[in-house]
Amino acid sequence: MTNKKLTTAAGCPVAHNQDVMTAGKRGPQLLQDVWFLEKLAHFDREVIPERRMHAKGSAAFGKFTVTQDITQYTRAKIFSEIGKETELFTRFSTVAGERGAADAERDIRGFAVKFYTEEGNWDLVGNNTPVFFLRDPLKFPDLNHAVKRDPKTNLRSATNNWDFWTSLPEALHQVTIVMSDRGIPASYRHMHGFGSHTFSFINADNERFWVKFHLVTQQGIKNLTDAEAEALVGKDRESHQKDLFDAIENSNFPQWILKVQVMPEADAAKVAYNPFDLTKVWPHKDYPLIEVGVMELNRNPENYFADVEQAAFNPGNIVPGIGFSPDKMLQGRLFSYGDAQRYRLGVNHNHIPVNAARCPVHSYHRDGQMRTDGNHGATIGYEPNSQGEWAEQPDFSEPPLALDGAAAHWDHREDDDYFSQAGDLFRLMSPEQQQALFNNTAASMADVPDDIKLRHIKHCSAADSAYGAGVKAALGM
């Protein structure tokens, strides 16, 4: 039987949890009321920093099951045989809003999956869009300062937002998606997920392939219009959280099919676009989607703070058979997540159960705040040593990657095309979807100065003259 009797954090019985100790019935409180001191002191420290972006999220545990053989591309053990199951944890999020923001906002959505593989954790930290606003990580803090609150008014500012986006032609592709009818997903269950970046696969013969990951919703795509979202937010600010939680609680387990696009290593030099540019997709006709397996979410966390708030996803967590690519944005992210988590959760955040690998961990690190395991006891802490301790594992080396070129701060805008793919996307839309894109853009830009509107119209026109004309008309210009 569980003991329901109240104790202090040190396990000592608490005799009084209703009235503080005072000197006399009407007198002041006494400092020796240590339970009061402990209770308030702990309460004062309950809030931890929220994630700098993606602060508001919902998550669940589940499993990944392999349905197709892709061992010709990767030696990652998670994919080693059909039918193999791997536990996972997935956190969805909105991006710009704070921890208390409403769910049904026009914004991209985070889609982060932690696969607890037998060779360590593989974190696929993606979004619900295949591209991003930027292709250079140096601009990431600027993006966030532009979409978050204005330093003086403390209000979200459409002007700051559009001033920044329209100053970067490479943002148009992502902006077109955000302003489209897909800009407000009805729920986290009704959207796709994308690893977005180009990653690599390494197979058993040590051959490299470039790869993009897609998670295709089996619930179907469902979106909200601005008007529907406005009405919903007035009644329910937690619509995504409620939808996901209730579906799982009712055993209506959501599923996504994991698919990959695979590009032979040598093709990267041959395709007409930069395959490592995060503002671009790989055309499906050239690199078709290959099915890999199915992700199912089937268990709500018992405690939101323990699992969801303390979850730490890191694009740097990869397993043998899966690697990085020269995508600069991915490279930038490899620094930022662990760094943010050391600040947000502490240096030993990998020991928190939701983050801990499900396979044996024998990492080198010692000490640090909140070390709660045995800290490797008496094991020596240096390498090389004569005990064979902490031996590196060269069998898992990747093949060398050929790189060339002079080091410089290269200006990618000089010779790259940021309009064709945005135009392709526009031309794929039905007339109704195009009109929704015009209207959503106009609504979002309503209070923005004219010069910024004109800059956007110019970019839209470069993608497709009908795109520019439609936005111009919707803006009444």
User: Which residue ranges make up the site for ligand HEM (CB under 6 A)?
Assistant: 51-54, 57, 91, 93, 110, 112, 125-127, 132, 137, 140, 196, 311-313, 329, 332-333, 336-337, 340-341, 344
Q: Minimum CB separation from ligand HEM for residue 340, in Å?
A: 4
Alpha carbon distance 295, 290 (integer Å): 15
- Please name the helix (run of DSSP H) or strand (run of DSSP E) that holds residue 226, with its range, or none: helix 226-235
The SS3 call for residue 273 is: coil
Alpha carbon distance 440, 313 (integer Å): 32
- In this structure, which amino acid lies at residue 25? K
- In this structure, which amino acid lies at residue 235? K
Alpha carbon distance 477, 468 (integer Å): 11
Q: Minimum CB separation from ligand HEM for residue 193, in Å?
A: 9
Could you confirm whether 127 is annotated as catalytic? yes
Could you confirm whether 409 is annotated as catalytic? no
Distances (CA, A) of 465 to 427, 462, 470: 11, 7, 9
Contact between residue 228 and residue 216 where contact means Cβ atoms under 8 Å apart: no
Count other Cβ atoms within 10 Å, centred on residue 140.
Answer: 18
**What are the tokens at 253?**
């387990």
Nearer to ligand HEM, 107 or 464 (CB): 107
Q: Minimum CB separation from ligand HEM for residue 142, in Å?
A: 11
Q: Which position's Cβ is nearest ligand HEM?
A: 110
Alpha carbon distance 75, 55 (integer Å): 34
Q: How many CA atoms lie within 13 A of 146 on its CB side?
A: 16
**Catalytic residue among 127, 274, 317, 355, which?**
127
* Residues designated as active site: 54, 127
